[in-house]
Amino acid sequence: MNALAATNRNFMKAARILGLDSKIEKSLLIPFREIKVECTIPKDDGTLVSYVGFRVQHDNARGPMKGGIRYHPEVDPDEVNALAQLMTWKTAVADIPYGGAKGGIGCSPKDLSTSELERLTRVFTQKIHDLIGVNADVPAPDMGTNAQTMAWILDEYSKFHGYSPAVVTGKPIDLGGSLGREAATGRGVVYATEALLAEHGKSIKGLTFAIQGFGNVGSWAARLIHERGGKVVAVSDITGAVKNPNGINILDLLQHKDATGKLADFSGADAMDPNDLLTHDCDVLIPCALGGVLNRENAGDVKAKFIIEAANHPTDPEADEILSKKGVTILPDIYANAGGVTVSYFEWVQNIQGFMWDEEKVNQELKRYMTRAFHNIKGLCKSHNCDLRMGAFTLGVNRVARATLLRGWEA
C-alpha cells in the first residue's frame, strides 16, 4: 500500500474512533496547499539539468506549518503528501504550536557536488520563498539534507525578506541553530524507548537492538543506546550491514564510517546481508531509514518484541496487522521520532526570543515533552481500548479537529 493510502487509512480509523463528522474528516484530509516546482541548475560541467521539487502544506489550524525537506531519488508527490499529513498529527501529539508540511526534491544528493547542491537548494528556495515564512511554514532537515542545506535556504530566503533565522530550523549553531537539534531525533527516540520499556518493566541496558539506517537519526539513536548499556547487535545503511551478537562498539563504528564512508570492513563486527536486518534476532528493532520497509513479505519473520518507528511510515498497515497478531509492540512514528521537531520548536522559540538555551535545558525539555506525550497516548489507548498507533493518532487528530472547530473552519 502506498504511503498516502496507508496514512489516510490510519487517519480514517482514528476519525471513526473519535466519531468525527464527515465535514471535519474531509477538511482534515485535504492538504491546505500542494506546491510543485521545476528547478533547473547548471551542473559543474556547464550542462543544464532539471529536478522537480515539492512542498506540501497540509494543515495550519494549530500554528505555522512545519516539516523537513528530503533529497532522495524516490521523492514523489504522494509520499510527500503522506509525510506532510504525518507532520500535522506529530506536532499535535508533541503538543507544539504547529501544523504540518513536508518537502522534497527528486535527486540523488550523493551524486551531486557541494556547489551543485547549493545551486539546487537556492533555486528551490527562490521558487517557494513567498510561501514559507517564520509564521507560515518553517522547513527543517530530513533524509539527504542537513544543517548546511538549511543555511543555504536561510541565506536565499533572507535576500527576499531580510535576515530571518527562524524561517528554518536544524541550522548550524553559528547561524542561530539550537544546541542539541542535531542529536534530537535520535535522543527523542531513546527517551520514547525508555518510556515504553519502563511500562514493560524493562530498560535499555542489556537488551539487544537492530538499527536500519546510520545517518542522522540512526547513528544518534545507536550512540545513545550504546551509552546506556544497550547492545546494538546489527546496523545497516545504504552501503551494507554489520552484526555482532555481543554488541557493536558504536563509537568505533562511527569512526570507521567517518574514515571510509561505509560500514563494510569494520573490524569490530561481521558483514551481513542488509536485507536480513529487519528480521535479525534482537529485542528491539529501530528502522531509521526509508518508509514502507516492514510489509507483508517480511513482517511474519520479524523477531523483535518491540519496534520503535524512528523513520517516518516504516510499517505498512498489512505489516501492522501481522505484527500485532504476533504480539509485537510498535511505538508509532508520529510519536517516536517527534524529538526532532520538538527541538526544532525550541530552536524557533530561541530565534524569536533572541536568546540561546544551553544544551542541558534543551535535553531536559525534550525529555519532558516526550514523556508527557507518551502518557497522553497511553491514556487514550486505555479509554479507546486501542494500540499505541491509534492512541497517538486519536491524540493528534483530536487536537487538530478541536483547533479547526474553534477557528470556524469546519464548513
Ligand X SMILES: O=C(O)CCC(=O)C(=O)O
Ligand Y SMILES: NC(=O)C1=CN([C@@H]2O[C@H](COP(=O)(O)OP(=O)(O)OC[C@H]3O[C@@H](n4cnc5c(N)ncnc54)[C@H](O)[C@@H]3O)[C@@H](O)[C@H]2O)C=CC1
Q: Which residues of this protein are in contact with ligand Y, per CB under 6 A?
A: 141-144, 185, 212-218, 236-238, 274, 288-290, 310-312, 337, 340
- Residue least distant from ligand X (Cβ): 68
Residue (66 or 389) nearer to ligand X, CB: 66
Examine residue 312 and tell whether it contacts ligand X (CB under 6 A). Answer: yes
Examine residue 104 and tell whether it contacts ligand X (CB under 6 A). Answer: no
CA distance 368 to 352: 22
> Which does residue 67 touch among ligand X, ligand Y, none (CB within 5 to 8 A, set by kind)?
ligand X
Judge contact between 325 and 319, C-beta under 8 A: no
Judge contact between 273 and 212, C-beta under 8 A: no
Pick the catalytic residue: 26, 36, 102, 231? 102
Surface-to-core class of residue 83, CB atoms within 10 Å of its CB (0-12 exposed, 13-18 middle, 19+ buried): buried
Which residue reads 547548471 in cell numbers?
A: 42
Residue (215 or 268) nearer to ligand Y, CB: 215
CB-based contacts of 210: which residues, under 8 Å, 6+ apart? 232, 233, 234, 235, 277, 278, 280, 282, 284, 285, 286, 304
DSSP element (H, E) containing 270: strand 270-272
CB count, 10 Å around CB of 173? Answer: 14
Examine residue 88 and tell whether it contacts ligand X (CB under 6 A). Answer: no
Residue (228 or 262) nearer to ligand Y, CB: 262
| Binding range to ligand X, per CB under 6 A, among 64-72, 127-135, 193-201, 292-300 | 64-72
Distances in Å between the alpha carbon of 106 and those of 39, 77, 223, 295, 313?
Answer: 10, 10, 30, 24, 19
Residue (230 or 340) nearer to ligand X, CB: 340
Member of 27, 344, 398, 404 binding ligand X (CB under 6 A): 344
Distances in Å between the alpha carbon of 193 and those of 53, 101, 355?
Answer: 34, 26, 31
90 assigned ligand-binding residue: yes
Examine residue 27 and tell whether it contacts ligand X (CB under 6 A). Answer: no
> Which does residue 99 touch among ligand X, ligand Y, none (CB within 5 to 8 A, set by kind)?
none
Minimum distance from residue 222 beta carbon to ligand X (Å): 19
125 assigned ligand-binding residue: no
Q: Which of residues 117-176 bind ligand X (CB under 6 A)?
A: 140, 142, 169-170
> Which does residue 366 touch among ligand X, ligand Y, none (CB within 5 to 8 A, set by kind)?
none
Residue (28 or 189) nearer to ligand X, CB: 189
CA distance 254 to 266: 10
State the pairing for strand pair 231-237/137-141.
unpaired
Strand order in the sheet with 270-272: 270-272, 240-243, 231-237, 208-212, 284-287, 306-308, 329-331
315 assigned ligand-binding residue: no
344 assigned ligand-binding residue: yes
13 assigned ligand-binding residue: no
Examine residue 186 and tell whether it contacts ligand X (CB under 6 A). Answer: no
Residue (137 or 142) nearer to ligand Y, CB: 142
Examine residue 216 and tell whether it contacts ligand X (CB under 6 A). Answer: no
Distances in Å between the alpha carbon of 46 and those of 42, 112, 115?
Answer: 5, 13, 12
Residue 361 among the catalytic residues: no
Surface-to-core class of residue 374, CB atoms within 10 Å of its CB (0-12 exposed, 13-18 middle, 19+ buried): buried
> Which does residue 290 touch among ligand Y, ligand X, none (CB within 5 to 8 A, set by kind)?
ligand Y
Surface-to-core class of residue 297, CB atoms within 10 Å of its CB (0-12 exposed, 13-18 middle, 19+ buried): exposed
Residues annotated within the binding site for substrate are 66, 90, 344
Annotated binding site: 66, 90, 185, 216, 344
Residues that bind ligand X (CB under 6 A): 66-68, 90, 140, 142, 169-170, 312, 337, 340-341, 344
Active site residues: 102
